[in-house]
Amino acid sequence: MFNTMIIKIAWRNIWRNKIRSLTVVGSIVIGVWALTFMMAFYDGFVTMYISSAVENDLSHIQIHNPEFVDEKEVKYTIDDYTELIKVLSSDNDILSFASRSLNNGMIANSKGSRGCDIRGIVPIDEAKLTRLDKKIVEGNYFDLTKKKNPIVIGKKLADKMKLKVKSKVVLTFQKTDGELISAAFKVIGIYKCTNSIFEEINLFVQQKDLGRLLEDDQMIHEIALLLKDVKQLDTVQAALASKFPQNLVENYKEISPDVNLYESQMGVITYIFIIIIMFALIFGIINAMLMAILERTRELGMLMSIGMNRMKLFLMIVFETVFIGLIAAPLGLLFGHFTVLYFSKVGIDMTEALEKVGLNEILYPTLNVESYFTITVSVVITAILGAFYPAYKAIRLKPVEAINKI
């Protein structure tokens, strides 16, 4: 019964000085709102970065000749290509896949020349895998042309080399014996994706055209595939590696260490955000509660003098702080949730801010249910920790001195 009375007293004490209590509540609400939005922003950034890398370049799994990964020479093609295609076609876990002929070369026109990565693709398969046909902003995709040696280039590359649709370019690259070969191509389309660095380097030609020039129709250096469910990533990778041990089967995390780093560090960054915000809040709570104790010194002395023991006084101060946290946390989460909900629909244009690192996309903040729960628990723990020192100072008061204090 007495514990219930302490809880009631603690609740009433909060509203005896409404301005101070609401100030503390407001600071916690702002802190929780900021934490919620920062976590959602970072989660959205990581999701954007990974999805951009997977869609444009990495896919979920890539298969290569191990020597090709090390040397990047065109003579190192995928072994057992025909059998591998049969297995991939019959695997129900695979959403789509595409084979590619890869070559490093130079693209040149009257304005100059630049290094580039040449991707020889099967247009239908590539469209299913990377939606390249949907990224054409000028001209057409391969399936709408019958021109000889058509080429699709990135918007960034087109701007730097002053290229337009119907422009003619010359590609220079190596054959399997090391001999250089040059061929004229005609720009039929210009694509734009969310990665400007990818746009500037990678260009696409038809696999059959590249094979004809290299005098080898089966010169396949890469097979990339997307899964229906990314949770099956390790299972599918292990199965393919077991069936085709002569080839190198890698997932997107192994291919791109920076993607793996971002993905693996999401949890760490979340807790760093929480610690920073909670440290700021805890000092605000301590300051406010110390001021409350200073104002109520005589009252606290009176309570101890009529029989309230130190433990119950300690609990009263802790309950006051916890109540403030329990009032503020839901409000902060509510404001944070609506902020995240709004920007998850309209997005945040990060084009200028992220152009330097190659990203050119609208960022959509996201936050899962577990994160909301983590924030709530963190606020409660922070409120309790913030109450300990003021409560300790309160129980250190001497009743006689406290009552007589001016």
Q: What percent of the chain has pLDDT over 70?
A: 95
pLDDT of residue 355: 61
pLDDT of residue 147: 79
CA separation for the pair 221, 203 (Å, rounded): 16
- The b/e string for 168-196 (b: 16+ C-beta within 10 A; e otherwise) is ebebebbbeeeeeeebebebbbbbbbbbb
- At position 81, the amino acid (one-letter code) is Y
Segment holding 121, helix H or strand E: strand 112-121
- Cβ partners under 8 Å of residue 314, min gap 6: 391, 392, 394, 395
Least confident window among 18-22, 61-65, 87-91: 18-22
User: What's the Cα-to-Cα distance from 258 to each of 53, 116, 254, 389, rounded to whole Å?
Assistant: 10, 22, 9, 43
In contact, 94 and 61? CB cutoff 8 Å? no
pLDDT of residue 65: 95
- The b/e string for 84-106 (b: 16+ C-beta within 10 A; e otherwise) is beeebeebeebebbbbbbbbebb
CB count, 10 Å around CB of 258? 9
Whether the predicted pLDDT of 56 surpasses 50? yes
pLDDT of residue 360: 58
CA separation for the pair 58, 62 (Å, rounded): 7
User: What's the Cα-to-Cα distance from 400 to each of 303, 309, 356, 397, rounded to whole Å?
Assistant: 11, 14, 67, 9
pTM value?
0.76
Q: What is the mean pLDDT of residues 299-316?
A: 83
Average pLDDT score, the chain = 87
In contact, 220 and 81? CB cutoff 8 Å? yes
CA separation for the pair 304, 302 (Å, rounded): 5
- 282: tokens are 């805890």
- 259: tokens are 């993607």
What DSSP assignment string belongs to 313-326?
HHHHHHHHHHHHHH
Whether the predicted pLDDT of 316 surpasses 50? yes
Over residues 229-267, the pLDDT tens digits come to: 999 999 999 999 999 999 999 999 899 888 777 777 777
The runs of H, that is alpha helices, within 230-307 are: 233-243, 252-255, 257-264, 266-295, 297-305
Over residues 3-21, the pLDDT tens digits come to: 688 888 888 888 888 888 8
Whether the predicted pLDDT of 211 surpasses 60? yes
- 8: tokens are 């009631």
Specify the residue for token string 């695997």.
Answer: 91
Burial category of 327 from C-beta neighbours within 10 Å (exposed 0-12, middle 13-18, buried 19 and up): middle
Whether the predicted pLDDT of 384 surpasses 80? yes
